[in-house]
Every structure is written in C-alpha cells, then in structure tokens.
Structure 1
Amino acid sequence: MWAISSRAPDLAVPRAVRRPSRRIGLLIDIAVAVVVVGMLGLMIIEPGLEAGPFHVMFLAVAIAYGYRIWPPVPTVAATTAFTLLAGWLMVMQAAEGHLPKAELAEIPLMPMVLLVMIWHVRRRVAAIEEMQLMAGRQLEAVQREREFVRDTSHAIRTPVTIARGHLELVAAQDLDEEVRSDLSVAMLQLERMTALSNRLLAVARLDSGGALSEQPTNLSSLVRELASNWSAQEDRDWQVDCEPTGWIPADPEWIELALDALIENALNFTPVGGEISLGCRRSADRCVVEVADSGPGIEPEDLPHVFERFWHRPPPNGRTGTGLGLAMARSAALAHGGRLSARNGPNGGALFELELPAN
C-alpha cells in the first residue's frame, strides 16, 4: 500500500499584531499625556488625595499599552519621570502629615507592576511575530511544493506520450516472442508513468482549490455502478450492500476517482478468491461509503502512516501502484468537506471509510 499525503497540513496562521495608524497612535499618546499631567495637577491641588490620581496614571498607561506599544527606552524613561515626580509629591505630603506613610509603598510597587506587564506584552508580541514568520515560511514551502507537483505532472506527460507512440509503432511490427515480452514490460511501465502523472495533477488540482464541480449526486447509485464495473474481475468475491442515500451535493467525477483508488487498493491486497465488500449508508447529515477487503489488513504500527507522504508497503498481490491513489482519494474527501479514514475491519482485512456531508 502506497500513500502520499494528499494535502499540506492545515497551518494555523496567527493574526497579525495590529498596530494603530499614525494618527490613532498620536491621539493615544496625547490622551495618556493629558491624563498623566491632569493627575499630577490633581495631586498638587488636592493634598492628601495623591493615592487615587497616582493609581489612575498607571492605569491609563496600562490601558493605552494594550493598543499602543511604545519602544522600550521611551516607555521606561517616561514611567521613571512621572513616577519620580508623583513620588516626590507623595513623600512631601506624607512628611507634612497629609498622607498616611503606608501609601508610600505604592511608589515603587505600581511602576514595577506596570513594567512587568510591559515586559510580558513585548514577549507575547515577539512570539506572535516569530510564529507569523515561521507560518509564512511554511506556507511558501507548501506553495512551492504544490507548484512542483503540478509542473512535474505536466513534464512527465510529454515524454511518456512520445515514448508510447514509438513503442506502439514497434508493437505493430512482426516481432519474436522475447522482444514482444520486453515491449509489454516497457508499455506497462509507461502506463504506470501515465497514471502517476494523472494522479499527481489530480492531487495538485484538489490542493489548489476550485477543482470541484458539485451537482446533485446519487451516491448509492454511483457506488453500485462502480461495483458492477469492478466485479467483472471474477477472481474475487464481490459483496455490495448499499442503502439508499438520496441526492447529495458532490462532484461525481472526483468521487468516482476516489472510490476507484480505494477499490484498486483493496484489489491489490486481496488474494485470488478473497472477498471485497462495498457498502454505503446515510445518517442525518453524513453519507459513508465503506470499502473492505479480506486481505492481510494494516499492521497496527502502520495505521498512523497510511496517508503519510511517500509511505510505502508493497502489496502481496497484484502490481505495485503509483503511490498516489490513496492520496488523491483523501484530497477528494477533504475538498468535499468530508474525510477518509483507514482501519482494520472485524474480519481482519483493511477497511476504508469515505465520509461526505449529506447537505
């Protein structure tokens, strides 16, 4: 079983640290300055009430700092300046008996609390900016990877098409058995290259978005039709159990490609005479298609890696696939807002469940 991750991991990009415009920033600066000067004036004209205005000054700076992150040096300098001035006023009033001396403990305490808050805010801002930088690099890498996959799929097609054309011309000639056998091997490998190119392009299209053309689709009819096509291979025992699912919004072409990939995978891992089961059912808001086989199943240590990029376990039966079938199927499921999961069934074989939204 081969699998290439069908989609880049979802990246949680933090929101940008919003900074106010220059005009708004200037208004905040003026407002803070007005509050600080006003509170200092109040402390001068109202002896004995210095504690209240002193607290209001620091509260105003703390609130403003949530919107306006000043540079460290001006912030510390301004805080030190109005702390010393306000502290001097409080000490003078305490010396004259207008202010309880216990209030003087607020002079070092309030600026310390403010500076600790400022330190934590700056650390958080730095962490967010670093996360944004890392997320940006990851998104760029994902975009480059998608472009590479798309360009590679196109680049493979041309030489493969040319090579097939020449080999078909050779095959039309009178050849001995050994040469014709070698030619068959070459044609088989070119078919694999063509399938690889097609699936690479399919994954790239699904990852880039906008590849779906949703329309009302009768999922149970689609599954029964696919089962009828695949069951022409009579060396396996095919079981089909489809409940009516009604019509759901889906792109039938992509769902068919996804189910073909799942059935092909089951066929590769099911021995001759084994059983392959297809089923579908509908709950309130989901439709589920199951593809099960009677093969060896998936080893417990392999289950977490089934959909990982370039993960590989050769099938015991049939030829090795392109390695993109399960990836494409998972991409199709995710593009529809559904999911594709893998586990071992009750009879030991592999069981893939394709879930699609029913509404």
Structure 2
Amino acid sequence: MRVIALLRRRPIEAAWGTFAAANLVAMGLWPSWETIPFHFIWISLTLVYGFRVWRVTATYLTLGVVVAATGALILQDAFIGQQLWGELFEVPLMSAMFLAMVWHARRRHEALAVVERQAAQRASLLERQERFLHDASHELRTPVTIARGHLEVLRRTNGNPAPEIDVALDELERIEQILERLLLLAKADQPDFVVLEEVDVEPFLEDVFMRWSEVAPRAWLLGVLASGKLAVDPDGLRCALDALLENAVKYTETGDLIEVRSRAANGGVVIEIEDGGCGISEDALTHIWDRFARADAARTRAHGGVGLGLAIVDAICKAHGGRCTVRVNGDTTTFALFLPHLRTLLRAHPAHVAELLRNS
C-alpha cells in the first residue's frame, strides 16, 4: 500500500519506471537490437531528472539499479557472443553523462532555492516596513493632535504674542503632513489604493492649476491641455500633482516660470509640470523617487522637506499602471506623468482659463 501511495504521489516517476521496465524486457528479448532500448532508458532517465530533482539517496539508488540492470544484460549478451565487449563501455559513459546532468540540475535547484528564500525574506521585510510605517504613523497622530490642541488653547489664552508657540505649531503641522504621507505610502501596495473613475482631464487640470496659481507669486502658465475622459483615482492624481507643484514652488523664486500642460500619447495622457528653478543634479536623478530622498542633501530641512513627495508621486503613477519621469535642461526641470486609459479624445487646444488669466 505504501508503494502504491508513493506512485500516486509521483506519477512521472511511476510512468518512467514502467517505461524503463518495458525497455529492459525488450533488451532481453531482442539482443541484437538492445542498444535502442538501452539508450531509451538512459535518455528518459536524464529527461525525468531534469524535471524532477530527486534527493541524493534516491538519485544514486536509481542510478545503481539502472547501471546494474543494463550492464548485466549487455554483459550476458557479450558472454554468449551476441554483443561486442566494447558495448559495455556505453554503461559508464551514459552514467557519466547522467551524473553531469545531476550536478547541473542540483546547482540550478539550489540556486532557485536561494533566490526563493531571498525573495521571501525581502517580501517579509517589505511587509514589516509597511506595517511599521502604518502603525507608527497611526499611533503618532493622536499625541500630535493633542499637543496641537493644547498649544492652540495656550495661544488663545496667553493674550501676548508668543513666537515660540507659533514655531511649535508650525512644526506640529509639518509632522502631521509627514504622518499623512507615511500613511499614504503604507497603503501603496493595497488593492484599494486607487479607486478609478472617469475624470474629464481638461477641467480637472484647470482646477488644480487655479488653486496653485493663488498660492505663490510665480509666473504661472497653463499650457495646451489634452481633452478626454481619463480613468483615474481623482484624489490620488490630485495628491500627485500637488506634490509636484509643491516641489516646483519650493525650488523657484518669485517670478520664475511654472507651467502645467498635457498631451495625448499612446492611448493615455502625459501631464507635464515644468519649472525654471534651480534644476536637479545628475547624481540625484537616480534616487529622487526613493523614499526620504532629497535632490540635494545640503538643502535646509525647511526648503528640502523630508523626501516623501516624489515617492508618493511614483507610487500613485505605478498604481494606475503609468510611470513618472523627469528631465533637466539647464535650470529647467520637467516632471512628466504618463497615465493610460484616455478615451473620447478631442483636438487639444489651449484652455480657456489661460485666456482668462491673460485678460485679467
């Protein structure tokens, strides 16, 4: 019963065993043709082992049985003169070829096992990191909110201007923003990270542009916008654009150009945000999408942030099946977001908001 159960668990080995036994019978019945079933046995053994790497004991036991059975039949036929004695050299030759296959297959099997272990460890590490980010961000929000509330009460009841309280409130607000972004990044791998709905690209970008054009005194320009319906998460896209425009404001001065434009491409839309600020060094381009990365490590904390904005942009784009890129030409930096699934595409034309801004 145990043998039958084993054969049921290993149908390939059972089929090969039956095939090998039939060929051994053929070697015994037709000695003059025995080299054909002999090679069938060895070739099929090598093929089976290539698919099913056995344990060392089972491998050498199987090899020993095949060597003994085929060698005995050839030796018997050589004694009675039906085979040449030189045919016996086929047995060690085929054994050596099979052992070479065993060596390569085991190395490949061990390499795959190492890769799988490393992948599992990396996945476990990423899962623990995401859990830590989520838990830490969630747990820190309560004490930050409490501290902010006490400081605001203290400022109202103090009666006198207190710059220290204003600084503390600004820092708490900054911490709250960091916690919100950490929570957002912690959800990046969740299946419900983005909830798609159809958005009209042109008015959506106009709304984002109008909000930011009132924030900072820059030379704001709304360029040509592509028309059409885009399947996106509107909150996620707005968050990504806000992060890019916040960066553009940070690294530009009063009067510098910041342009928002879009165009249809490859069945989707490319949204570009260009600024004429200080640019990005080539060394920084390779890691600006990483979490906590900064374009310039020497920047002050107030100016450079903590390096989560572009990581959020990257996560949101990838969750939509898109991608984000950046190109630098001197002091001009252009971030481009490609998002797929644009439909009902009409002729691209300048937005009427740009005309309103020029006439105002």
**After TM superposition, is the score higher than 0.5?**
yes
8 Å CA contact 2:273–2:335 kept in 1: the answer is yes
8 Å CA contact 1:268–1:318 kept in 2: the answer is no
Matching residue's letter, 2:56? P
* Equivalent residue number for residue 301 of structure 1: 283
TM-score by length of 1: 0.86
* Equivalent residue number for residue 214 of structure 2: 232
* Equivalent residue number for residue 6 of structure 1: none
Q: Aligned residue pairs: how many?
A: 336
8 Å CA contact 1:223–1:242 kept in 2: the answer is no
Matching residue's letter, 2:338? E
8 Å CA contact 1:306–1:342 kept in 2: the answer is no
- Is 1:121 the equivalent of 2:84? no
C-alpha distance in 2 between matches for 1:138 and 1:332 = 22
Deviation string 1:46-101 (CA, Å, 9 cap, x unpaired) is: 22222112111112322332444332223223322332332233244345443345
Identify which range, 67-76 or 295-304, moves more after superposition: 67-76
8 Å CA contact 2:252–2:276 kept in 1: the answer is yes
- Is 1:290 the equivalent of 2:272? yes
* Equivalent residue number for residue 117 of structure 2: 133
More helix by share: 2
8 Å CA contact 1:156–1:193 kept in 2: the answer is no
8 Å CA contact 1:239–1:277 kept in 2: the answer is yes
* Equivalent residue number for residue 357 of structure 2: none
- Is 1:58 the equivalent of 2:42? yes
The structural deviation recorded for 1:315 is: 5.0
Matching residue's letter, 1:326? L
C-alpha distance in 2 between matches for 1:64 and 1:317 = 62
C-alpha distance in 2 between matches for 1:275 and 1:228 = 15
SS of equivalent to 1:272: coil
Larger RCO, structures 1/2 (Cα 8 Å, 6+ apart): 1
The structural deviation recorded for 1:149 is: 0.8
The structural deviation recorded for 1:138 is: 0.7
C-alpha distance in 1 between matches for 2:99 and 2:158 = 90
Matching residue's letter, 2:120? G
Identify which range, 206-215 or 64-73, moves more after superposition: 64-73
* Equivalent residue number for residue 353 of structure 2: none
SS of equivalent to 1:173: helix
Deviation string 1:133-180 (CA, Å, 9 cap, x unpaired) is: 111111111011111111111112111111111111122135444xx2
Q: 1:202 to 1:106 in 2, by over 3 A?
A: same
- Is 1:190 the equivalent of 2:172? yes
Identify which range, 166-175 or 325-334, moves more after superposition: 166-175
Q: 1:254 to 1:76 in 2, by over 3 A?
A: same
The structural deviation recorded for 1:347 is: 5.1
* Equivalent residue number for residue 17 of structure 1: none
Identity between Structure 1 and Structure 2 (%): 31
Q: Given the alignment, which residue of 237, 261, 268 partners 1:279?
A: 261
Matching residue's letter, 2:109? V
Q: 1:30 to 1:152 in 2, by over 3 A?
A: closer
SS of equivalent to 1:299: coil
SS of equivalent to 1:90: helix
